[in-house]
A and B are shown apart, each in its own frame.
Chain A
């Protein structure tokens, strides 16, 4: 598919409001620009205070933007409000870091998965139940899980449910906010495998936000590295990983490789 990218962000500036007379603080995101092509995955990497979360929240319209533009499928995304925004937002699936916090503790898995569909105007009934079961099995969980509650799930299972919910309305864009940071390495591997399966099956575009450069380098087609509000690196993953422009990126990539490469030959 050629033409306009799925998501295009231009010169985005986000600044948190201080007090009325306080001096204007440094922007949380200082002029970010990038494109997300259809069917690809963009990794947004940064440490705490880098602005990655602000950028993500602005794209989800949870945070006001000071200046700049966001276009989603060619449309002016920042111009939507109220009901129109609510409906348009259903085209974006969101998965956040801690599945136990992002799943309501009081609802069953079936109720959790039905919620977006009911909100979108689907009628309750057997079709929804079938669709939910299909979603769940798509995400690697048997239908027996439908009647469980979040606290009866393991971390990996809960994150699968959260992913299933994000896919409930067949979104074009899947936004993942540190989706594996709260999980064990072995569970993380399963979730990353699942995401790459789903991406192929549903032709999803993904925005993968994380502090872990190595995780995102594994799944992303292109990478955007943020530091203190600035985009310090943006390009195809291969290029960023093998020839990082910034010493900062190189440092992030070097973590933990001492023993596995340098120490490989017994010293």
Chain B
């Protein structure tokens, strides 16, 4: 891939998502710039109301009905997501959601759920599909894939369920994964394993990941680059070590100062201005 290695996989300029409601328009996303290089794990960090989830949803073409998407540029691998999001979703763009228990159907076996995906996206005979499913589960680090294949979601722990969801996302053949708070529902020790798994899969399979999170630890643990969102705008972007150690924007600085391990024990934590009542969008920049 001589050309594609230099051009970013995802290129967004000035993305806005406006959702009409009976009480008037909600500007969920105001001005987001995002550029994600191939093979990167790119973090998108923000607090509630920052528009991080809606940004991901716009890429998947899953914005609420009637929403208006505005953008100077909204391209995935050269294709305009405004028209192509629905077609790319599930083919090249996969999704890993926060709650694996909700993402899996409780009454179907894991075998059925992975097989359904494989049957939709890959033209393989039955036996080959089974082999592929086993290979995918093994790739996500699940011990005894045979047994997992026979299991139902409730028989698996949260960490195992999330691995199954990742395997399912891989089964589509997608090369770009949007992970929305993939570890928020998991214990810290399990979260670390899942993030390590994602890093390994990205390296092994030439994937690109957009990691949406509110947790600076997840960014620090797993991401190469990070974009900070505040009130629907991207306020800062850069390599993780750069942004975390030398934050340029005052919101990023405040956010880092608000982390309990950022200051000595018992010292006062930084207070992010304008976040108390609700974020004042205009006071953001």
A interface residues (Cβ-Cβ under 8 A, vs B): 47-48, 154-157, 184-190, 192-193, 196, 211-215, 217-219, 237-238, 248, 251-252, 254-260, 263-264, 266
Contact = CB atoms under 8 A, between A and B. Distances in A.
A193 B271 contact: yes
Contacts of A47: 187-190
| Majority secondary structure of chain A interface residues (helix, strand, loop or mixed) | helix
18 contacts: A48-B187, A154-B277, A184-B214, A185-B258, A186-B275, A188-B258, A188-B260, A189-B269, A196-B268, A251-B189, A256-B216, A256-B218, A256-B221, A257-B220, A259-B241, A260-B220, A260-B245, A263-B245
Interface string B110-137: 0000000000000000000000000000
Contacts of A264: 241, 245
A57 to B, nearest CB: 19
B221 A219 contact: no
Interface of B: 47-48, 158, 187-192, 214-221, 240-241, 244-245, 254-255, 257-261, 263, 265-266, 268-272, 275-278
Nearest to A218: B260
Nearest to B257: A189
A27 B142 CA distance: 28
Contact of B268 (A187, A193, A213, A215): A193
Contacts, number: 116
A218 B261 contact: yes
A154 B270 CA distance: 19
Given A184-B48, A186-B254, A192-B260, A218 B220 contact: no
Contacts of A213: 188
A186 B220 CA distance: 18
A184, A189, A248 — which one has the most chain B CB atoms within 10 A of its CB? Answer: A189
A48, A184, A237, A238 — which one has the most chain B CB atoms within 10 A of its CB? Answer: A184
A13 B218 CA distance: 35
Given A190-B276, A219-B266, A237-B265, A185 B240 contact: no
Contact of B241 (A192, A212, A263): A263
Contacts of A256: 215-221
Contacts of B276: 154, 156, 187, 190
Nearest to B243: A259
A72 to B, nearest CB: 26
Contacts of B220: 256-260
Contacts of B215: 185, 256
Contacts of A238: 265
B219, B220, B270 — which one has the most chain A CB atoms within 10 A of its CB? Answer: B220
Contacts of A258: 220-221
A225 to B, nearest CB: 12
Contacts of A188: 258, 260
A213 B215 CA distance: 14
A254 B258 CA distance: 18
B192 A255 contact: yes
A47, A218, A238 — which one has the most chain B CB atoms within 10 A of its CB? Answer: A218
B260 A211 contact: no
A218 B266 contact: yes
Contact of B260 (A48, A217, A259): A217
Contacts of B244: 259-260, 263
A187 B50 CA distance: 14
Contacts of A263: 240-241, 244-245
Contacts of B271: 186, 189-190, 193
Contacts of B48: 155, 184
B242 to A, nearest CB: 9
Nearest to A216: B260
A255 B217 contact: yes
Contacts of A155: 48
A219 B188 CA distance: 19
Contacts of B188: 47, 211-213, 251-252, 255
B69 to A, nearest CB: 26
Contacts of B263: 218
A176 to B, nearest CB: 14
A186 B258 contact: yes
Nearest to A266: B241
Contact of B269 (A193, A217, A252): A193
Contact of A189 (B192, B218, B219, B272): B272
Nearest to B221: A256
A154 B278 contact: yes
B191 A184 contact: no
B159 to A, nearest CB: 11
B272 A252 contact: no
Contacts of B277: 154, 157
B50 to A, nearest CB: 9
A264 B241 CA distance: 6
B70 to A, nearest CB: 27
Given A186-B271, A187-B275, A192-B269, A251 B192 contact: yes
Given A156-B276, A259-B244, 15 more contacts: A47-B187, A47-B189, A184-B47, A185-B47, A185-B216, A185-B259, A186-B258, A186-B272, A189-B260, A190-B269, A192-B269, A218-B261, A219-B260, A251-B192, A264-B241
